[in-house]
Structure 1
Amino acid sequence: MDFNAAEEEEFGFSRNYFLAKEMGSSGKKSARKLSDINVVDEQELREASANIEPKHQNDVADLINSYKSLYPKWVFDLRCGFGLLMYGFGSKKSLIEDFASTALAEHSVVVINGYLQSINIKQVIIALAEILWEQLKLKRKVSSGSLPKVQQPFSSRSMDDLLVFLDGPEMDEKDSFICVVVNNIDGPGLRDTETQQYLARLASCSYIRVVASIDHVNAPLLWDKKMVHAQFNWYWYHVPTFAPYKVEGLFLPLILAHGSSKQSAKTALIVLQSLTPNAQSVFRILAEYQLSHPDDEGMAIDNLYSISRERFLVSSQVTLNAHLTEFKDHELVKTKRHSDGQDCLYIPLTKEGLEKLLSEIS
């Protein structure tokens, strides 16, 4: 085949390709929707995924064991004041927990599982303060020194007071610290700005060290320059394990599964917990009305405003509209047109899901 023939053949192929694309795009668009897919039940899908036979188990185990040679260096980094941040493909839960249980056996360790949907960060900090207080009492008892009495229990102190206490006590041994292990510091239970700021302040305390893992590609966007370098003081380690996310995946909804009312209520609870108490109370009014009037098409906006104003939850229609905008943006509340032409509000949850949600937020 000469050069001209080859060039003509290539030109013909290119022309036919673009003609086919043009003809394909000129036809009618598909009317199929994502909701038309016949997805399976969530429990059935989880059971099927649990029965998938894992591959390369020996190679994965050898890779994770190879990181154990780094344990002494990681301990040295912690003693130097760094926080350890583990990243790379695969679950790092077993790796960092094994490191904490073996290499940090002489230190107190507190584990936070960020893959859980909701975490009470104050309870974690209270537990750390109580551990440090016990350590101080033990050391002062050995040295026969005096220790000032706690003026009030840690559970009744503010977050600022707790963090000041964790940063303040003087101990003789400079290598003594409490290690906070955070599985998935970028997880849904820790992802909000306020919690990340508390974790950063906690990491900067004198006798606190943080060992954490991240899995989301955008996880570093959670922190600003001060948090990374001055507070967390991260020492980054690339430790891909290729291990399956068995435990972490249990708490995440499956894309190919039907969303159950229990999962929807759990998602709604997470959103509500991020809103103000007044917004939560307005939502409660709507939820209680929907439960007590199951045959109604929804609650009239004017009716919701009157009750909310009587209970001093809103001062004007503008305030109520701001709450409703938040509800609608998070798909907590939807609007439908009543038979008389009036707009009504309703919560897209089953009766069981709504009752569970109200019991949780109370």
Structure 2
Amino acid sequence: MEGNYGEDEEFGFARNYFIAKELGGSGKKSSRKLSDIELVDEQELRAAARSIESKHEKEIGSLLNSYKSLYPKWVFELRCGFGLLMYGFGSKKALIEDFASTALTECAVLVINGYLQSINIKQAVTAIAEALWDQLKTRRTPSGDFPKVQQPFNSRSMDDLLAFMDGSHSEKNDCFVCVVIHNIDGPGLRDSDTQQYLARVAACSHIRMVASIDHVNAPLLWDKKMVHTQFNWCWYHVPTFVPYKAEGIFYPLILAHGGTAQSAKTAAIVLQSLTPNAQSVFKVLAEHQLAHPDEEGKDACQQFVQYLSRALSGE
């Protein structure tokens, strides 16, 4: 009897599910469109977002304090040559910076904000090399010979900079520069060439790296060699539930008015998702439309073609 009752109950659930789907599908559909949404000024929307009161500050503060017990372990792993990779929901910017300012006082720390839209990797690597040079100069012995830099770091090639950071300049193994990268998967760092350079920097003997990721596909940026040999990550799940205020300030708001620059950027994103053949077709279309502006066509279409032309020309 119990078995039959369970089967009847399961059949009842299934029957009610399909009845609800049928009734829901036969209902009248909404006539509202996305175009009906009233857009507001971006500055006004950002000001409203900043005025939102933070919730659960006490609980978040307690959670961040609980991670401080891991600081000695993190320092030990850095000294052993590992890199630290933080992941989990919430901004990890304040957590990592607190760790660097309180537990890494004996070494130089250089911060790279990967959430910025554009980052010059050559300038970043040059700054790391200069920080290492300053660190080595402060730790030299009065009687010891210390090599002089014959060529400025900003005029050296990437290979020369990496060779300098990987050289045996000091007898002390604890002389290193810690590179903190907020959002190593950010838009300014996620291209293949930049990730390769960052991996080579992390593999240098005098460099240690602490980074954070937030994108779900961030691990796809690296191959097996980069993860286990160059970055040598120790993964830490450290959810903070802190709002992404600093990281999200440079991203466009969906409900805000978009200007010409934002529309051109959107068109560029669309073009990047197309195949090379499709991109060439759009380029021909844009060139034809710009060469014959008097031909019939809607204004919106002409504007889109102009955006595509700008994106294809790199403007």
| TM-score strictly above 0.5 | yes
Q: In the alignment, residue 17 of structure 1 is paired with which amino acid?
A: A
Give the letter for the 2:95 counterpart.
L
Aligned equivalent of 2:74? 74
Deviation, structure 1 residue 341: 7.8
Q: Structure 1, residues 78-100: CA drift from partner, whole Å, max 9, x if none?
A: 00000000111111101100111
Matched residues in 1 for 2:14 and 2:241: separation?
46
String of CA shifts for 1:111-134, please: whole Å, max 9, x gaps.
Answer: 000110001111111111122223
2:55 aligned with 1:55: yes
Aligned residues: 295
Does the Cα contact within 8 Å between 2:185 and 2:214 map onto a contact in 1?
yes
2:284 pairs with 1:325: no
* Cα contact 1:118–1:270 (8 A) shared by 2: no
Q: Given the superposition, is the C-alpha separation of residues 156 and 323 from structure 1 closer, same or farther in structure 2, using an over 3 Å criterion?
A: farther
Residue 213 of structure 1 is matched in structure 2 by 212
Partners of 1:113 and 1:182 within 8 A in 2: yes
Q: What's the secondary structure of 1:142's corresponding residue? A: coil
Q: 1:326 to 1:133 in 2, by over 3 A?
A: farther
When residues 50 and 187 of structure 1 are mapped into structure 2, their CA distance, relative to the original with a 3 A threshold, is: same
Give per-residue Cα distances to partners, 1:276-303, cap 9 Å, x unaligned: xxxxxxxxxxxxxxxxxxxxxxxxxxxx
SS in 1 for 2:86: strand
Please point out which of 20, 31, 34 is paired with 1:17.
Answer: 20
Aligned to 1:256: 255
* TM-score for both structures, normalised by structure 1: 0.70
* TM-score between both structures, scaled by the size of structure 2: 0.80
- Would you say the 8 A contact 2:267–2:307 is kept in 1? no
Q: Does 1:347 align with 2:301?
A: no
Taking structure 1 as reference, are residues 13 and 265 closer, same or farther at Cα in structure 2, changes over 3 Å only?
A: closer
Q: Which runs of 5+ in 2 are unaligned?
A: none
Q: Which residue of 2 aligns with 1:41?
A: 41
Deviation at 1:162, TM superposition (A): 1.0
Q: Aligned partners of 1:142, 1:335: CA distance in 2, in Å?
A: 71
Structure 1 pair 20–110 and aligned structure 2 pair: CA distance change class (3 A): same
Partner-residue secondary structure (3-state), 2:142: helix
* Structure 2 residue aligned with 1:202: 201
Q: How far apart are 1:76 and its partner, in Å?
A: 0.2
In 2, Cα distance between equivalents of 1:128 and 1:20 = 64
Q: Which residue of 2 aligns with 1:155?
A: 154
The answer as to whether partners of 1:117 and 1:270 remain within 8 angstroms in 2 is: no
Task: Select between 30-39 and 209-218 the one with higher mean Cα deviation.
Answer: 30-39
Amino acid at match of 1:154: F
After TM superposition, the structure 1 stretch with the greater mean CA deviation from structure 2, 6-15 or 214-223, is 6-15
What is the RMSD of the two structures over their aligned residues, measured on CA atoms? 3.7
- Residues 93-108 of structure 1: pairs in structure 2 closer than 5 A: 93-108=93-108
Query: Residue in 1 aligned with 2:89?
Result: 89
Cα contact 2:107–2:135 (8 A) shared by 1: no
The 1:173/1:51 distance shift into structure 2, 3 A limit, reads same
Q: Which amino acid aligns with 1:208?
A: I
Aligned residues of 1:117 and 1:189 also touching (Cα < 8 A):
yes
Closer, same or farther in 2 for the Cα pair 1:191/1:327, shift >3 Å?
A: farther
Once the two structures are superposed, the pairs formed by residues 178-257 of structure 1 within 5 Å of their partners are: 178-257=177-256
Give the secondary structure class of the aligned counterpart of 2:26. helix
> Which one has more relative contact order, counting CA pairs under 8 Å at least 6 apart?
2
What does the per-residue CA deviation read over 1:224-260, in whole Å, with 9 as the maximum and x for residues that have no partner?
1111000000001111111111111111111222223
2:216 counterpart SS class: coil
